[in-house]
A and B are shown apart, each in its own frame.
Chain A
Amino acid sequence: MKIPDDNAEHVDGSAMMDVLCPMHAVLDSTGHVVHAGPTLAKIFGNTPLIGTRFAELFEIKRPRTDGSMRMLLAMAGAKLHLRMRGAQRTHLKGVAVPLAPGAAPEGGALIDLSFGISIVDAVRDYALTSSDFAATDLAVEMLYLVEAKTAAMDASHKLNVRLQGAMIAAEEKAYTDTLTGLRNRRALDYVLTRLSEAEQDFALIHLDLDYFKAVNDSMGHAAGDHVLREVARIMIEETRSDDTVARVGGDEFVLVLKRVTDACRVHDIAERLIGRLSRPIPFADRFCTITASAGSVLSCNYAHPDTARLMLEADTALYAAKDQGRGRHVSYSRSLRNDDENLGTAGAEVSACAACGGDTEV
């Protein structure tokens, strides 16, 4: 704000106030505006201020008031929350003081306004420039800060997005079996921990390829790798997208089927899978013939599913399937545990579909 030169030597009160508080208004004893600072006049544009009642220009939202001069003076010195009437409805802060006795207009008040937190919108809406603010006003610094912080946050945000992308890629790599693209043991542990923490039911199938070593030995590692990739593709095809298929050893796989609580359904899935894996896999001009054995458990059969125990008992079922001649699936049941103890004697009694027999309680 610049003091007009012709007034420089004897600045009258209102000219002085225009420099110090360009958003102030002087009200007479009836609450009509008799003088408005230059910035206040600018934001009202063509709306005449002089002679208009202050309460018609602004609504005092807090503290509650009837808009009368008496109440305004009663709130002298207190922080006022105001809203401009009219199109923009800009929020402002203000403070009123009674004019000194003897100062014109008698019984009047001076009210100074500021944009407060709505400064960013106000500067844009009213096309304000730095000369519309008092030299000591922090408004321009505030605008600088908003813009600088927005730019800095933007740069930080970009960095975060890039770091997050790199993190996801690294995690993906850490959780993936590079040969088959299936999940690895680390991913499996993570999935099982998450499921048991969330107390979500699932079926766990432990599957082991039969005669894979023979393929590797007789046809070479390239054939073996090809078989593993084909097996992975078949297992992905036979499961749903939110199931987990992990390669946990050379020719060992674990499938986690979410929300599955029916042993017969698991048996069907496992048998279908084994059926497809038993078909000869073409490689170069020859065929690789393997099959698979599988054992499974259902988390819903355990009061407190412990992932280590589930893995162990699926393993027990898997070995029962191998004992029974391979190329088949066995659901875990308590009788298998007894078989462990009397290995070789009772094994033959376990049906390949023990689950369908109903003996699944653990």
Chain B
Amino acid sequence: MHGLINRSIERFVRDTYGRDVWGAVMRRAGLDYIEFEAMLIYEDHVTRDVLSALSGVLDRAEQDILEDIGTYLVSHPNFEALRRLLRFGGPTFTEFLHSLDDLPARARLAVSDLILPEIELREHGDGRFSALCRGKEAGFGHVIVGLLRALADDYGALAVLEYKGGRDSLEIVEIRLLAVEHASGRSFDLGVGAV
């Protein structure tokens, strides 16, 4: 798994629960280092081991934690850069949803060896969508639920997100858009992020 993903989990745990909890998670996962390097590649089992250790240490279901990670990635000030990159997907939440299909390609454009699961958006009318996630590892769908919920907030849209289950490598997330402009979202200036 790409170090960026492991590093995101690390930052989530450290920013939310503190350094000590993170140390306990890494020890429980049987790893003899304490920090992930964002730009290195780790073996896939490392991510699985860390998530399962995290679930044990926090005594919480793994899927709830994954959902929290999705929310954290969009809403925490330490991840402002990622929020901005996501907001390039479109000026409205609806347009952002339409750009979901491009998400893995956008990620690859930024970091060529970062492989994200494929996402396919299906539109059912009346503001109802479903996102189909196909990846090597199950669980990404839960991250998407948290991430889209936080992004809807960010855009000022009102949306209900629901994990509709998964089979094999396919996970389905249902999106119901109740109001496109429910509240004023956070601002996004095209030009402020670049150096």
- Check A269 for interface membership: any CB of B closer than 8 A: no
- Name the distance in Å between B94's Cβ and chain A's nearest Cβ: 14
- B190 interface neighbour in A128, A151, A158, Cβ under 8 Å: A128
Q: Is A151 a contact partner of B85 (Cβ separation < 8 A)?
A: yes
Specify which chain A residues have a CB less than 8 angstroms from the CB of B109 in the assembled complex. Answer: 144-145, 148
Specify which chain A residues have a CB less than 8 angstroms from the CB of B110 in the assembled complex. Answer: 145, 148-149, 151-152
A149 to B109, CA, bound (A): 8
- Name the distance in Å between A4's Cβ and chain B's nearest Cβ: 18
Of the 9-residue stretches B34-42, B67-75, B153-161, B172-180, which lies at the interface with chain A? B34-42
Within 8 A of A (CB), among B88-125: 88, 90-91, 106, 109-111
A62 to B55, CA, bound (A): 64
Give how many B residues have a beta carbon under 8 Å from the other chain's beta carbons: 22
Nearest residue, chain A, Cβ from B106: A144
Q: Is A140 a contact partner of B39 (Cβ separation < 8 A)?
A: no
- Name the distance in Å between A114's Cβ and chain B's nearest Cβ: 16
Q: Is the interface of A mostly helix, strand, loop or mixed?
A: helix
Q: Is A150 a contact partner of B88 (Cβ separation < 8 A)?
A: no
Q: Is B194 a contact partner of A127 (Cβ separation < 8 A)?
A: no
A147 to B111, CA, bound (A): 12
Residues of A at under 8 Å CB distance from B?
120, 123-125, 127-131, 140-141, 143-152, 155-156, 158-159, 162
Given contacts A120-B194, A152-B39, 19 further A-B contacts (CB under 8 A): A120-B191, A123-B190, A125-B191, A128-B191, A131-B91, A143-B194, A144-B85, A146-B194, A147-B81, A147-B85, A147-B88, A148-B111, A149-B110, A150-B195, A151-B85, A152-B110, A155-B38, A155-B39, A159-B40
User: Closest 7 CB pairs between A and B?
Assistant: A148-B110, A124-B191, A123-B191, A144-B88, A159-B39, A155-B38, A147-B193
17 examples of A-B residue contacts, CB within 8 angstroms:
A123-B190, A124-B191, A124-B192, A124-B194, A128-B191, A129-B189, A143-B88, A144-B88, A145-B109, A148-B106, A148-B110, A150-B194, A151-B85, A152-B111, A155-B39, A156-B39, A159-B39
